[in-house]
Amino acid sequence: MVKKTLRDIDTAGKRVLVRVDFNVPINGSGNVTDDNRLRTALPTINYLVENKAKVILVSHLGRPKGKVVEKYKMDPVAESLSGLMGRRVVKVDDCVGEVTKNAVAGMKEGDVLLLENVRFHPEEEKNDAGFARRLAEPAEVFVNDAFGAAHRAHASTTGVARFLPAVAGFLMEKELEALGGILEAPGRPFAAVIGGAKVSDKINFLSSLLQKVDLLIIGGGMANTFLAAQGYDVGKSLLEADKAGLAKEIIKEAGDRGVKFLLPVDVVAAKEAAPGAARVTVTVDQIPPDYMVLDIGPKTVAYFTEALKNAKTVFWNGPIGVFEIEDFSRGTKAVARALAGIDAVTVIGGGDSVAAVRDAGVADKMTHNSTGGGASLKFLEGKQLPGVAALLDR
């Protein structure tokens, strides 16, 4: 770890601004429906509380686009965090200004304060220096524990580091060590399983990945573009027809580099992505013209599982099908269970992939479940993450 962490500084009695990633799902009743991101921040928060710091938490929630939006207020998050910690987490109605200064001034050692959604201010995403200064003003130290937002140069991730000594929290440290390990010295064979909807979202990452892996498996909606590039008719499936050329280039590059490149050989298709929709399982050359591909079939599950069984490092990002609908979740869950059963370092690259391994009941069998989908892709691509670069070097 080349960046300073909480262990490298004295936080006792100090006002510590902690950037957390509390961008959690909240239902129509105003309840947090998945508290995983809150739980992953607890080691850092509890450490600061135990060391008598005054803990000031700041996060974004949703995409309010610089305006106050009722459904994106942090009140349900404060309530859920209070329950997890077994102590009251006070929530304040802004993240800057007098109301925030007064709330911080009234804090005692060991208190935890949650600021209002930082994205209610348009200056946050613009990384406005004046706003960053106001955000930093009540604090003495900055701790970035939001790996999931580390690939964004915003006021609360990089801007405040201009005004406060900045170090990594324990979650940030864990993420960098896990991802750094597979980037710098992966056990081989090194396999990557990449799913999700679009090739265009991951084209640069795929090209970079081909320089590192021995096996690349493509699934999910993006596999349709690769299948179409090979001449298959994918019916009414999600497809980026204009990216067929790029798909062909990636397939060729894999061959040139000696990377084993796998696509589905059979699929589960239906006329609509809906629970209970009539579905068929067919080989990729028999997809009906009025159907859409929504999952991989059993032959593909066996094909992928066999290919992965001898891997020593696996990185997985993106579901293999429309896993949020039970009827089309079997392929994704099968791949998750396959990874849980092999003797390898298994790193799950955030977002839907982590949700999938939890749904499959095997999250605890993975070496590391990342909290940052986009951040993990950027990191493994070899790109510098602004939120990490802003931290003090050890």
- Residue tagged active-site, from 126, 133, 198, 312: 198
The pLDDT score that the predictor gives to residue 351 is 76
pLDDT at 55 over 80: yes
Confidence category of residue 382, pLDDT binned at 50, 70, 90: confident
Report the largest interatomic distance among the alpha carbons of the chain, rounded to a whole angstrom: 68
N-term to C-term CA, the chain: 8
Rounded to the nearest 10 degrees, what angle do helices 330-340 and 298-308 cross at?
A: 20
Query: Average pLDDT, stretch 104-129?
Result: 98
The pLDDT score that the predictor gives to residue 373 is 83
| Rounded-to-integer distance, Cα 179 and Cα 288, Å | 41
Cα 43-47-52 angle, rounded to 5 deg: 155
The pLDDT score that the predictor gives to residue 202 is 81
Say yes or no: do domains 6-174 and 186-380 share a fold.
yes
Q: Which helix (H) or strand (E) holds 142?
A: strand 141-144
pLDDT one-digit tens code per residue, 193-250: 999 877 777 877 898 899 999 999 999 999 999 999 999 999 999 888 888 899 999 9
Q: Is 159 a catalytic residue?
A: no
Q: Is 198 a catalytic residue?
A: yes
Report CA Rg, the chain: 22
The pLDDT score that the predictor gives to residue 374 is 86
| Rounded-to-integer distance, Cα 332 and Cα 301, Å | 9
Whether the pTM exceeds 0.85: the reply is: yes
CA distances from 202 to 82, 295, 318, 377 (A): 37, 20, 10, 8
**Among residues 380, 378, 381, 329, which one has the least CA distance to residue 355?**
329
Q: Which residues contact 88 (CB under 8 A, 6 or more apart)?
A: 82, 112
pLDDT > 70 in the chain, percent: 100
**Among residues 135, 66, 75, which one has the least CA distance to residue 100?**
135
The pLDDT score that the predictor gives to residue 295 is 96
pLDDT one-digit tens code per residue, 65-99: 999 999 999 999 999 999 999 999 999 999 999 99
Q: Is 374 a catalytic residue?
A: yes
The pLDDT score that the predictor gives to residue 1 is 63
**Among residues 126, 118, 85, 97, which one has the least CA distance to residue 18?**
118
Confidence category of residue 381, pLDDT binned at 50, 70, 90: confident
Rounded to the nearest 10 degrees, what angle do helices 330-340 and 351-359 cross at?
A: 80
Structural domain 186-380, CATH architecture? 3-Layer(aba) Sandwich (3.40)
pLDDT at 372 over 90: no
| Rounded-to-integer distance, Cα 145 and Cα 22, Å | 11
| Rounded-to-integer distance, Cα 335 and Cα 333, Å | 5
The pLDDT score that the predictor gives to residue 56 is 98
Q: Where are the domains of the chain?
A: 6-174, 186-380
Query: Average pLDDT, stretch 256-266?
Result: 97
- Residue tagged active-site, from 15, 19, 37, 378: 37
pLDDT at 292 over 90: yes
The pLDDT score that the predictor gives to residue 304 is 97
pLDDT one-digit tens code per residue, 294-340: 999 999 999 999 999 999 999 999 999 998 899 999 999 999 999 99
- Residue tagged active-site, from 221, 374, 378, 387: 374
Structural domain 6-174, CATH architecture? 3-Layer(aba) Sandwich (3.40)
Confidence category of residue 126, pLDDT binned at 50, 70, 90: very high
- Residue tagged active-site, from 219, 220, 351, 372: 351
pLDDT at 389 over 90: yes
Query: Average pLDDT, stretch 37-60?
Result: 97
Average pLDDT value for the chain: 94
